[in-house]
Amino acid sequence: MKTCEGCGLPAPLSTERCALCGTPFRRPVPTSYRLTATGPSGAYRWTVEGDEVANAVWRDATWDIAEPTTGQVNVTVIPVTSHGDDIQRFAIVDHRGRVATTYSSGDGIVRDSHGDPMLLVRGDGPTGLHIVDRDGVVLALASPVSEGKGGLDVLVTPAGLAEPRRRLLLGVSLAVELARSATRRANRVA
């Protein structure tokens, strides 16, 4: 499903124009985000071609992902206490879509509130990741940023650009990067 930007009417993905107001739907094209840490405060930001499109701030033991222009929090990523293993676990809450999910770095599965798999995060080589839905559709590809300071380059495919999926992918990409950061820190200490 997609939603008309003019009047808000939902429509099937194959629809070219809104049936109610006639507004043409934009053809979805892949979007490439860069997720990077923003200094010693531990905040993160997502950019598209250098323009900030979202940011994450650590507040009250959670990561709030917000729109940079309004400051409205859309997604919250909550680290879950470790069970004595090296697996990083996160709850991801989409406030606008009222969707709660969990991500575990151990199995790479994003599960819905009923425990059913929604997305898989799978490696595609020594450094890259695919984020795939239950139907096997690749929603995003991610790889570490080339500077080696942490962060991800995330290519979101047209299938992942619907607003609810985009918000979920922001949360998942942050959870993946937080898990990677924790693993890097643990390896430096060991």
Q: Which residues contact 152 (CB under 8 A, 6 or more apart)?
A: 34, 35, 142, 143, 144, 145, 173, 176, 177
Q: Which residues contact 114 (CB under 8 A, 6 or more apart)?
A: none
- Residue range 28-189 in CATH 2.40.160.200: yes
Q: Can you give the residue ranges of every domain in the chain?
A: 28-189
**How many residues can be counted in the chain?**
190
Question: Tens of pLDDT along 130-173?
Answer: 999 999 999 999 998 866 567 899 999 988 888 888 999 999 99
Cα–Cα distance, 165 to 183 (Å, whole number): 27
pTM: predicted TM-score of the whole model, two decimal places: 0.81
